[in-house]
A and B are shown apart, each in its own frame.
Chain A
Amino acid sequence: MAARDEEAEAWSEEAARWLWEGAVPLQVHLHDADVTALPPPPPLLILGPRLGYLPLLVSRIRAHFSSTLPPGIDTVWFEYKGLPLKWYIPIGVLFDLLCADPERPWNLTVHFRGYPGEVLSPCEGEDSVKWSYNNSLKEAAFIITGNSKNVMNMSQADQVAMWESVMKGDLDGYMNVSTRLKLGPFEEDCVVRTSSAERQQGSDEPESPGSSKPWSLFDYMSAVFKKTLSI
């Protein structure tokens, strides 16, 4: 059991490194309506970190298109094939969900006007992303430990360091802070709760590893992957 735990931890860290160092090549086109000078500017080629967020790229995108933007206040949003993109979802997740056949580079359109407020919740740049990130962290802490105290009690220095590490894609910096939050790696007593899994043991549910032993996240994910891959 100890060797398996070590193996799980090693996989965990390697997987984390791949994610943190990964990026999606983006080709950002300026929406036609926002082009005020001809010829229209060429699209911007930029790397979107998998664990990063689109609003965090706006300053570089704005700089690239600055000569052709209309005057006035910008309300920046991104769209893929007509679908407004949810800014609080990491770039890697958006790409994996929306591009079944990976497009390289991924062609996105940026808008500086006409924010679709009835469809997208408002975003005021980096602060909104930071707030959303911290909120998600609190929620994750609540699910794992039953309360958000460890996140709410983070020192100012830790909060700043954590956000900086997310913005820079610095896994070591992140782990420095996150390990002290004691959110993982998942221990044996962390039970996976889902909406319908609690009540139904239908044919879709993976077999339980032991009689009354609660599942670790690792057990659950292994079982689900094995089932999907028919191993």
Chain B
Amino acid sequence: MAPSLWDGTLSIDDFNASAKALMTKWREIDVEDSLPDWTWKPCCTMGVASQVEGFLALEGVFHTGAGSQTEDNNNLSDEGTVEHDTWVQSSSDSVHVYDFHIAYSFSYKVPLLYFQGHQAGGQLLTIDEIKKDLPAHSLNVLSESKWTFITREEHPHLSRPWFTLHPCGTSDWMKLLLGKSGEKDLCLQYLSTWLSVVGQAVGLKIPLKLHCNS
């Protein structure tokens, strides 16, 4: 594959190889305590795990809120009664847990990011609640870039609706980012490069060391 003719996409085999490279590199570098390791989840058909198809999963990413909510007594002083159980929010309510999955799109031949968040009690977060967790930078990326917008679609392997970043345009900006790399580097670096961009849109902090050549 001549790099200059490369169209920004990758095959399923290259995706799998790039996934292995990402998992290895991630484990090697000193990742922040709050970030778990990526694991590979093979797809199962009729109880048999596939040798080829699967997806990357980063699960249990904790996000603590900007500060736990405090009792709001201002509105109640006139009424005279204070109902503590309706106004107090425990600090555990502001801990959100996120899962990120990277799957391969056969249609677009690029990776796809799927994500969802839960409250500590297990309830799924809405898109508005997720956006509240995102740093301002991410919100800018989402609103300004024509290439990154969030939709709710069925997860290709789990048959449930997850949030996803729309894949159109991925091959265009990947070609811009990696177009000048050597052929060998291209395949293995694909996912970490891709992740550094999409991670910004969803507030996932990607360690800089991931991009250093060892």
Contacts and interface: CB of A to CB of B under 8 A. Distances in A.
Contact of B154 (A117, A121, A196): A121
Given A139-B107, A148-B168, A195-B12, A122 B124 contact: no
Contacts of A138: 168
A121 B151 CA distance: 10
A142 interface: yes
Contacts of A119: 160-161
B124 A118 contact: yes
Interface of B: 7, 11-13, 52-53, 106-108, 124, 152-154, 160-161, 168
A117 B126 CA distance: 10
Contact of B7 (A86, A143, A146): A146
A196 B168 CA distance: 24
B160 A196 contact: no
Contact of B52 (A121, A143, A196): A196
Contact of A195 (B106, B153, B154, B168): B106
A122 B106 contact: no
Contacts of B52: 195-196, 199
Contacts of B107: 139, 142-143
Interface in A19-77: none
Contact of A118 (B12, B13, B108, B160): B160
B152 A139 contact: no
A119 B108 CA distance: 25
B99 to A, nearest CB: 14
A117 B161 contact: yes
B16 to A, nearest CB: 11
A154 interface: no
Nearest to A152: B168
A120 interface: yes
21 contacts: A86-B154, A117-B124, A118-B124, A118-B160, A119-B160, A121-B152, A121-B154, A121-B161, A138-B168, A139-B107, A139-B108, A142-B108, A142-B168, A143-B107, A148-B168, A194-B106, A195-B52, A195-B53, A198-B11, A198-B12, A199-B13
Top 5 nearest A-B pairs by Cβ distance?
Answer: A121-B161, A139-B107, A121-B152, A143-B107, A195-B106
Contacts of B13: 199
Nearest to A131: B151
Interface in A103-138: 117-122, 138
A193 interface: yes
Contacts of A194: 106
A193 B106 contact: yes
A118 B159 CA distance: 10
Contacts of A118: 124, 160-161
Interface string A182-205: 000000000001111011000000
Given A117-B161, A196-B52, 8 more contacts: A86-B154, A118-B160, A119-B161, A122-B161, A194-B106, A195-B12, A195-B53, A199-B13
B106 A121 contact: no
A138 B7 CA distance: 18
A46 to B, nearest CB: 26
A199 B153 CA distance: 28
Contacts of B53: 195-196
A121 B114 CA distance: 14
Interface in A70-92: 86
A114 B139 CA distance: 31
Contacts of B12: 195, 198
